[in-house]
Amino acid sequence: MVSKRLSRLEGHRRKFLAVIDNTPECQRAVHYAGRRAKNTNGALSLLYVIPEGDFQQWLGVEEIMRAEAREEAESTLAKVAQIVRESIGIEPEMVIREGKAADQIVSLIEEDRDIAILVLAAGSAKEGPGPLVSSIAGRASAFPIPVTVLPDTLTNEEIDALC
């Protein structure tokens, strides 16, 4: 069961959550989520999940690997946030987590009760819509908030028209 969303209460704003994962479709999800946030006086949260990795090396190596993964996450989020600022004109919130993406998404949604909509974009690969979309779709009946999945054929102009 999901915690009650607070986004409609005074002093709160509905947040759109986009997951940053260095896939081409990620940019479409960010664009849609950012436009919807701006057009509805909401907010945009960007989540980067550092995958569970082989960080179980010797202590010194593990610390270096974690630091490098964190630097990459911060750099990627900074680039995406700059694009959002320039193209949409809003300041996104940035969150970095470590673990399995689907688990971290659910955890963040439970912690931040202003998050009301998760935005994903389907990939165009012949293998299917992408691992994140497939993972979330597999949990659809138990997922805590609505999920918007953008088709892989939409351009930014078409996304703007939908928002």
- What is the number of other CB atoms lying within 10 angstroms of the CB of residue 88? 20
Give the C-alpha separation, 37 to 7, whole Å: 12
| More confident of the two residues 27 and 129 | 27
Q: Which amino acid is at 3?
A: S
pLDDT above 90: percentage of residues in the chain: 47
- The per-residue pLDDT for 78 is 97
Of 45-49, 52-56, 133-137, 159-163, the range with the highest mean pLDDT is 45-49
Residues 36-51 have a mean pLDDT of 96
Q: Is 38 exposed, middle or buried (0-12, 13-18, 19+ CB in 10 A)?
A: middle
Q: Calculate the average pLDDT of the chain.
A: 85
Model confidence at 131, in pLDDT bands (50, 70, 90)? low
Residue 17 CA: distances (Å) to CA of 23, 64, 95, 98: 16, 29, 10, 17
56-71 per-position pLDDT tens digit: 666 677 778 888 999 9
Tokens 């088709």 sit on residue:
151
Residue 35 CA: distances (Å) to CA of 13, 26, 56, 76, 98: 15, 14, 40, 20, 27
- pTM, full prediction: 0.85
Q: Which of 74, 80, 73, 79 is nearest to 50 (CA)?
A: 73
Residues 81-89 have a mean pLDDT of 96
Q: Which amino acid is at 38?
A: K
- Biggest CA-to-CA distance, the chain: 52
| More confident of the two residues 97 and 122 | 97
Residues 76-92 have a mean pLDDT of 97
